[in-house]
Amino acid sequence: MLSIAPLHSQSTSYYFSGPEYSLKDTWLGAGARDLGLQGSVDPAKLDALFSGRSPVSHAEFENMTSRTRVVNYGYDAVFSAPKSVSLLALLGEPNLAQRTRQAHQDSVEKAFEFFESQICCVRRASMGHTSYIRSNGVIAGQFSHCVTRALDPHLHTHVVFPNLTRGEDNRWSAFNSAFIWASARTSGFLYQANLRHELTKQIGVEWRPLINGTSEINGIPRELLESFSTRSKQIETFTARTRVGKDENSSKSRRFAGFATRTDKPLEFDLEQLAQTWTLKAESLGFSQRDIDSVLHRTDVPPISRRFEVQLAARVATSPQISRSEYTLYRSALNAACEITSPGVDPACFESAARSVVSSPLIRAERNRLVPNRKFIELRSTNNSIELGL
């Protein structure tokens, strides 16, 4: 999935230390391309950006709006693979591991492209009037990691970006954080859908039923997944003991438990030795390389249903989000598209289908019936205008 954490420090040294750091960690985002940032992430350039300075001259950006951005210097968006995918990437033979990692990387980039498209607007206020305009994009560094704080296998990518973007008016300012939080869930759903498609296409794995947008590979025992999920056990134990909130299984309670049980990640460990330890542990539980091979080449990519848009429209029409803004309903429709299709289907058409359904006469009529004469602020750009209202 995708989890987002605000960064309250200008230092990014964590991402450039420890055995997981690699020169293969690269720049990401339209904002980075706009500044000519390519290839490996330079620590000095990323730190300069977190300080509101040019990565080239290290001078503070001109046309900077008020520095309210110092509350959050930036964000860490973490795309996490399901545990079964992590096991293929870290316990599989080299070719399988490489293909799995590449599928994860490609899925991260596709999902981040959507995430960036949803958050790249900035707010401008003048004489008591607030307007929104497009910005040039996100300036991010992506860092691939493979280990949890408890030293279990965990394939994930940190996409780290400063709270800084340049509007179409050429002024630098912070992002509107509401769009960042609002877009996280859908971006995570799209990451998972793309990952399932890529792995189904490349290695023919089957998938278990979806739970909250994610799924594990069919054929990998639950006992094995649980044995490599130390952090999940810690969180579950904490929530069961403290019963935080009304629902101990709610995402809010689990986030709180995650922070409460979090320890610093060890910075000194041997990845090769860890991999050997993981392999021996898996074998002791009766899961060998032969068992890994047995979950491959079971199926092909399923076709998308001819009734896909009809099914999606039915889901949207009964969604609790139907009376919210079109922007919110669009994200809800994308979530639904990821859930109602067969695991492994190509999600390339999901965004266009969601836009088509949300703007269809049927859905617009239902929205007008529920909320007549509703007014929305519009975000204008050269390509489209979308309704705001989270």
User: 156: domain range?
Assistant: 2-224+255-294
Residue 81 included in any domain: yes
Residue 11 included in any domain: yes
Q: Are residues 111 and 28 in the same domain?
A: yes
Q: Are residues 274 and 315 in the same domain?
A: no
Q: What is the pLDDT of residue 61?
A: 87
Contact at 8 Å (CB) between 224 and 287? yes
Calpha distance 244→36 (Å, rounded) = 47
Contact at 8 Å (CB) between 212 and 152? no
Q: Are residues 343 and 286 in the same domain?
A: no
| Sign of the Cα pseudo-torsion (265, 21, 90, 208, in order) | positive
Residue 301 included in any domain: no
Please report how many Cα atoms fall inside a 13 Å half-sphere around the Cα of residue 257, on the Cβ side: 23
Name the domain count of the chain: 2
Those residues of the chain that have pLDDT short of 50 are 68-69, 245-246, 248, 376-390
Calpha distance 225→232 (Å, rounded) = 11
pLDDT tens-digit map of 298-319: 999 999 999 999 999 999 999 9
Q: Are residues 140 and 285 in the same domain?
A: yes
Q: What is the pLDDT of residue 268?
A: 77
Q: What is the pLDDT of residue 373?
A: 63
Residue 242 included in any domain: no
What are φ and ψ of residue 377, in 5° steps? -80, 145
Among the listed residues 99, 112, 225, 121, the one whose alpha carbon sits nearest the alpha carbon of residue 173: 121
Could you give the 3-state DSSP secondary structure of residue 161?
strand
Q: Are residues 277 and 343 in the same domain?
A: no
Contact at 8 Å (CB) between 179 and 118? yes
Task: Spell out where 148-298 has E strands.
Answer: 153-162, 165-166, 172-173
Q: Are residues 155 and 279 in the same domain?
A: yes
- Token output for 79: 């795309």
CA angle centred on 382, ends 381 and 388, rounded to 5°: 20
Among the listed residues 386, 382, 379, the one whose alpha carbon sits nearest the alpha carbon of residue 130: 379
Calpha distance 82→98 (Å, rounded) = 16
Q: Are residues 313 and 215 in the same domain?
A: no
In angstroms and rounded to an integer, the radius of gyration of the C-alpha atoms of the chain is 22
Residue 236 included in any domain: no
Q: Are residues 84 and 131 in the same domain?
A: yes
Residue 375 included in any domain: yes
Q: Are residues 216 and 336 in the same domain?
A: no
Residue 198 included in any domain: yes
Q: Are residues 27 and 74 in the same domain?
A: yes
For 342, counting Cβ atoms within 10 Å of its Cβ (0-12 exposed, 13-18 middle, 19+ buried), the class is middle
Among the listed residues 297, 389, 301, 282, the one whose alpha carbon sits nearest the alpha carbon of residue 344: 301
β-strand partners of 132: 123
Last residue of a domain, one of 245, 265, 294: 294
Q: What is the pLDDT of residue 384?
A: 41
Q: Are residues 137 and 212 in the same domain?
A: yes
Q: Are residues 179 and 42 in the same domain?
A: yes
Residue 238 included in any domain: no
